[in-house]
Amino acid sequence: MTTRIVILGGGFGGMYAARALRRQLGRKAQIELINDENYFVFQPLLPEVGAGSITPAHAVSSLRVLLKGVHVRKAVVDSVDFERRIITVFQGIQRRPTEVPYDHLVIALGLGADLSRMPGLEEHALRMKTLEDARRLRGHVIEQLEHAQVSQVPETKRGALTFTVVGGGFSGVETVGELKELIDRSLPYYPNIAPSEVRVILVEYAGRILGEMPARLGDYAAEQLEKHGITLKLNTGVVSATGTQMVTTGGEVIDTRTIVATIGNAPLPVVARMALPHQHGRLKVDRTLRVKGGTNVWALGDCALIPLRDGAAERADFAPPTAQFAVREAKQLAQNIAATLKGKSPRPFHYTSRGALASLGARRGVAEIFGTQFTGLFAWILWRSYYLALLPGVATRIRVMFNWLLDILGARNLVQLRPQARPQLRYIHYRSGDTVYEAGHRSDGFYSVISGAVEMERKDPATGEVTRRIIGPGGHFGERLILGATRRQTTVHALEDTKVLVVERESFLMLAEGFPAFREYFRPYMEKRGAQWPPTPEG
């Protein structure tokens, strides 16, 4: 029977491993790649998607088109049975589990992110990991400009025009640079926003940015970003976040409605659950990329801790989580599997970085190639050319190049494509003193207090008399919305740090329809207000 090699993950590591295996082994092995999306994401372009200089479709390529001769399975990996050599997956929208057998397994699932150590950051920060994240960022930024254009409340306008990126690595630096360029090029169309009102902030825990690059380039990048109007906050971490503010380790409270978190790398749950040795959140492999303690199990890319020398201990002794290394690891891994199949010994991976490149926005970049350092426009052109060459597929390359040219010549695309619909149920965090809503506001949800406390203030429209009520955990407010009121009649403030659950009106009515217990619990509250409960469904 033909050997079955199954690769989990279709990023740089997995996709290039599949290609290299196909080339090495031809039809001598069945090669299958399992990925939860049917496309390969060109990660380094995500900041450009986030800033709208290329459209989302141009930062991705179909895995089926890229990997001819490889069986591509769009599925979510549920678990691996290393004894039976069986992977259990759920395919697309299928609810029946499918078992996939393997002879050799290659794990290239990458890393996830965990922001849960900083209260509120998980709920209120944007990410830059997936294509959807990038698309959401762009829609969110344009939404803030639209909001600032019409806002009459100074602190709301300040929050809408303060954009914060957390993390000064490649992803954070490129995101902040692109973000600033998007804003600068959009402002001429927003006459009510003065350029001086915009604040773009990069927050980094270490004392310098681009820690992976030589100090001189990091300093140059910092200088360029500052010259370009970006505020750098070094030696600064994040303590907590809400929908309107961020608190730093320096004790500063920043009014901001945009927090992009590029920090918090953590193993994906499916990898963490595998009965394999981990270290620093990654799979332990030997120098030949074999997972320690596994049989015919290999790993590469960001999910693997790959030693570059024997007795590796320091951070610099392990392969860094970059596309450049992943592509090289894929090559070595394919050779090693081919050698093993022939009964030969696999060989250790080693590779020395050829250099590093970063874009800073506004046609400035930094680069170090074979030890030589470049800055400015030339480094930026190098950066674009390098990534254009690395893009898989000629059609994609032509499209991206053409769109880059149009972007240099023309106006930035200001269209705000609708971001994902607002979730029907969501948590919101407030800091003590925050306004939850004010009388006269549009009613936007039913609120239930999970922790903390709020004070509700109601002014009688006839007598002008003010009544106050404190609502703590288990209490709720905003019932009038459910009965069809479109405006708030009360003002609510957080008395302490508070977490609430917000339910949209339509969802609340669905719950009342679907759960008799829920419906009956709320009956007295609704009937006290003279309402028919439940209301007759519309439509």
Task: Provide, rounded to whole angstroms, the least separation between the CB of residue 316 and a copy of itself.
Answer: 31
Among 521, 528, 529, 535, binds a copy of itself (CB under 8 A): 521
Other CB atoms within 10 A of residue 138 CB: 24
Distance CA 356, CA 371 (A): 10
Taking CB under 8 A as the rule, which mask of x and - marks residues 221-260 in contact with a copy of itself?
A: ----------------------------------------
Among 3, 30, 37, 205, binds a copy of itself (CB under 8 A): 37
Span of 49-57, 207-215, 276-284, 339-347 interacting with a copy of itself by CB under 8 A: 49-57
Instruction: Tell me how far CA of residue 147 lies from CA of 211, 227, 300, 491, in angstroms.
Output: 35, 27, 44, 22
Task: Provide, rounded to whole angstroms, the least separation between the CB of residue 507 and a copy of itself.
Answer: 5
Span of 114-122, 165-173, 217-225, 364-372 interacting with a copy of itself by CB under 8 A: 114-122
The phi, psi pair for 114, rounded to 5°, reads: -135, 110
Q: Which is nearer to a copy of itself, 7 or 500 (CB)?
A: 500
Taking CB under 8 A as the rule, which mask of x and - marks residues 339-378 in contact with a copy of itself?
A: ----------------------------------------
278-279 and 265-267: which strand pairing?
Answer: unpaired
Run of H or E residues at 528: helix 516-528
Task: Provide, rounded to whole angstroms, the least separation between the CB of residue 437 and a copy of itself.
Answer: 6
189 part of the interface to a copy of itself, by CB under 8 A: yes
Question: Tokens for 481?
Answer: 């919305």
Binding-site residue total for a copy of itself (CB under 8 A)? 88
Taking CB under 8 A as the rule, which mask of x and - marks residues 371-410 in contact with a copy of itself?
A: ------------------------x--xx--xx--x--xx
476 part of the interface to a copy of itself, by CB under 8 A: yes
Binders of a copy of itself among residues 411 to 470 (CB under 8 A) are: 411, 413-418, 420-421, 423-425, 427, 437-438, 440-442, 444, 448, 450
Task: Provide, rounded to whole angstroms, the least separation between the CB of residue 18 and a copy of itself.
Answer: 15
Among 86, 378, 518, 529, binds a copy of itself (CB under 8 A): 518
Non-local (6+) Cβ contacts of 111 within 8 A are 265, 266, 267, 268, 281, 282, 302, 303, 321
Taking CB under 8 A as the rule, which mask of x and - marks residues 127-166 in contact with a copy of itself?
A: ----xx---------xx--xx-xxxxx-------------
Coil, strand or helix at 443: coil
Residue 461: CA count within 13 A, CB half-sphere:
5
Run of H or E residues at 64: helix 63-66
Among 94, 385, 432, 467, binds a copy of itself (CB under 8 A): 94
Question: Tokens for 180?
Answer: 């600033």
Q: Where are the beta strands (DSSP E) in 159-267?
A: 162-166, 199-203, 230-233, 238-241, 245-248, 253-255, 258-261, 265-267
Cα three-residue angle 264-266-270, rounded to 5 degrees:
150
DSSP per residue, 131-155: HHHHHHHHHHHHHHHHHHHH---HH
